[in-house]
A and B are shown apart, each in its own frame.
Chain A
Amino acid sequence: MAEDGINSFMTGPDEAGRFGIFGGRFVSETLMPLILELEERYDFAKTDPSFWAEMDDLWKHYVGRPSPLYHAERLTAHLGGAKIYMKRDELNHTGAHKINNVLGQIILARRMGKTRIIAETGAGQHGVATATVCAKFGLKCVVYMGAHDVERQAPNVFRMKLLGAEVIPVTSGRGTLKDAMNDALRDWVTNVRDTFYCIGTVAGPHPYPAMVRDFQSIIGKEVRWQLAEQEGEGRLPDTVIAAIGGGSNAMGLFYPFLDDPSVRIIGVEAGGKGVDDRMQHCASLTGGRPGVLHGNRTYLLQDPDGQILEGFSISAGLDYPGIGPEHAWLHDTGRAEYVSITDAEALEAFQLSCRLEGIIPALEPSHALAHVMKIAPGLPKDHIIVMNMCGRGDKDIFTVAKHLGVDMKV
């Protein structure tokens, strides 16, 4: 821990891209030179003041950062315990935290002379963010999206097309997010010269998990000063909570607090219909075991023979059988806690946020909010919880209507 002055949770990954045993560079030889070049260019960029000046300018004027830190008074009163703040990353341009990372990767891609950007997307938020930034910079954009997700996230598919992106429905495998990532990797291995793969979460081969975390860390950095200065709390939060699919919004909130032992860190996985042997969930840490997929070692949902299983969740953004390797490491070291929330619990939290705060949340942060609802009542009133409201729910209203038995056509 940080207090002994020797060990820190913020020094990873090591030179091999490992967080403990997790992470690494498990890619085909064709891609190896590309990720080594990316690592070299990113290592240079992250210490280059002109890179961050460009980021800061776009974060402020294009994305709308800093996103507000909002005291959810009615929700706090309703739950009757801890004081609840929401980090309003759903107010970013494109409606989620995804654009924080996309901007960083696209600026890097431009500096590397790449002219074609590919991305995978689940709920479509990362695809929309990538299409948006590509439109802004006049870059060709190709987004791989599982055929099943294309169907359940139709509004985002149309947005990407309006923004000039080509959306390729993925039918290989089972046509889900992991298959979209497979097809994006197949594209990259084919188009090695001009193409940059913009990964949407803290997973993939090194340096992606660290790079995406660094770009998303703006979330936690803002929370630190907003809570202390702007909200006049003059201190750190007691608990930070975020939802996890691959885990980028969570890593962005958690990372700046890793060496503050007083801050309790909780990641919320998608429990689907319940974390049990029916495997109808996406809780990789609670229901999976270590394995190797998509360039990194991490916790994976898999069968006894090492075949990857499909995740299941009401939320397309959490529907991934793995989790970022740094989360796997934080889990094993005990620095962060990981829990799961079911579809039903997330739906309840979704509705509560709408009615009490006038905020329609995405189904992803609804999972984080559902866990806040579980723990806040039992905590003292001076206990500060910050949850990451990482996306807005416009894209999910059709899914929610269906689950609530509402016919939108009427």
Chain B
Amino acid sequence: MTRIDDTFARLKREGKKAFVSYIMGGDPDVATSLAVMKGLPAAGVDIIELGMPFTDPMADGPTIQLAGQRALDKGMTMDAVLEMVRAFRAGDATTPIVLMGYYNPIYSRGVERFLTEAKEAGIDGLIVVDLPPEEDDELCIPAQKAGINFIRLATPTTDAKRLPKVLQNTSGFVYYVSITGITGAGAAQAGDVAPEVARIKAATDLPVIVGFGITTPDQARAIAGVADGCVVGSAIVKDIGAGKPVAEVLANVAALAGGAHAA
């Protein structure tokens, strides 16, 4: 059992959907980013996705691209991302943290070293966008062995033939990408998402969380209502990018979480 499994067990007992939030580590600087991160659980966030900045985020729209650039311009590194996690863990032993990003910074560090450090820092799961099941030997299998969940994306192009392959080595939860496209683009439609979530749930016991294209509390409620929860990223990152005070960023997060939890 990881913190992710514990969290879903708790939510099930409480009869609530999960609210997952994404922020970019080190955006716009480590201090602000850490302040936001520390405030997320109290704002209603059940699982924190923490972005690892990368120069070439191919699956991300402009909002998260710019967040990564802001972080990198301030000298953000993998060491600093891990240090943020340690600092967060010092005051919070239960909220799951999922690192999200791209493979090269992990590969560059060395997979074994990265996994050891990530586990020690208190990381619970990984979402690595450019590692499909075809490349499971790279990181997915070693991560599972190290006791870290490897959370896979399923998408509208993942057809029935392919779905078992996508689910095979997935753990923690399944992240359903609501649209074909990049982060921060389009609007997820509950009517489109519902049958897709049902299709995935028929093939796995894992919770299915829906992300991409969710920006308002109403959307969060609608999408969480047809799944086990939802993810909001760009809408929060946009507030941080606009330089809003931490309290205001967290107030908006609380409203989004309220939407998801009302589902």
Chain A residues near B (Cβ < 8 Å)? 16, 24-34, 172-173, 178-179, 182, 185-186, 189-192, 291-295, 297, 300, 302, 304-308
Contact = CB atoms under 8 A, between A and B. Distances in A.
B184 to A, nearest CB: 11
Contact of A307 (B72, B158, B159, B162): B72
B55 A33 contact: no
Interface in B18-65: 53-59, 61-62, 65
Name the 5 nearest CB pairs between A and B, nearest first.
Answer: A306-B108, A306-B105, A190-B181, A30-B155, A308-B55
A146 to B, nearest CB: 13
Contact of B56 (A27, A32, A191, A308): A308
B59 A306 contact: no
Contacts of B155: 28-30
B141 interface: no
B140 to A, nearest CB: 12
Given A28-B59, A306-B104, A192 B180 contact: yes
B177 A178 contact: no
A182 B130 CA distance: 13
Contacts of A302: 104, 108
A184 to B, nearest CB: 9
Given A186-B61, A291-B108, A305-B78, A29 B153 contact: yes
Contacts of A16: 134
Interface in B51-88: 53-59, 61-62, 65, 69, 72, 77-78
Nearest to A183: B58
B152 interface: yes
Given A182-B58, A305-B77, A27 B180 contact: no
Given A178-B56, A190-B182, A307-B72, A30 B106 contact: no
A27 B154 CA distance: 13
Interface residues of B, number: 44
Contacts of A24: 134-135
Interface of B: 53-59, 61-62, 65, 69, 72, 77-78, 102-109, 129-135, 152-159, 162, 166, 177, 180-182, 185
A178 B58 CA distance: 10
Contacts of B185: 190
A33 B134 CA distance: 11
B103 A30 contact: no
A33 B162 contact: yes
Contacts of A34: 157
Contacts of A306: 54, 78, 104-109
A26 B131 contact: yes
Contacts of A26: 103, 130-132, 135
19 contacts: A26-B130, A29-B154, A29-B166, A32-B157, A32-B158, A173-B65, A173-B69, A179-B56, A182-B58, A186-B61, A189-B58, A192-B157, A292-B107, A293-B56, A293-B104, A295-B130, A306-B78, A306-B105, A306-B109
A178 to B, nearest CB: 6
Contacts of B130: 26-28, 292, 295
A27 B157 contact: no
A372 to B, nearest CB: 34
A30 B134 contact: no
Contacts of B135: 24-26
Candidate in B53, B59, B132, B185 with the most chain A CB atoms within 10 angstroms? B132
Nearest to B153: A29
Contacts of B57: 182
Contacts of B132: 25-29, 32
Contact of A172 (B54, B65, B156, B162): B65
B189 to A, nearest CB: 16
Contacts of B131: 26
B235 to A, nearest CB: 19
Contacts of B102: 292
A192 B162 CA distance: 16
B153 A292 contact: no
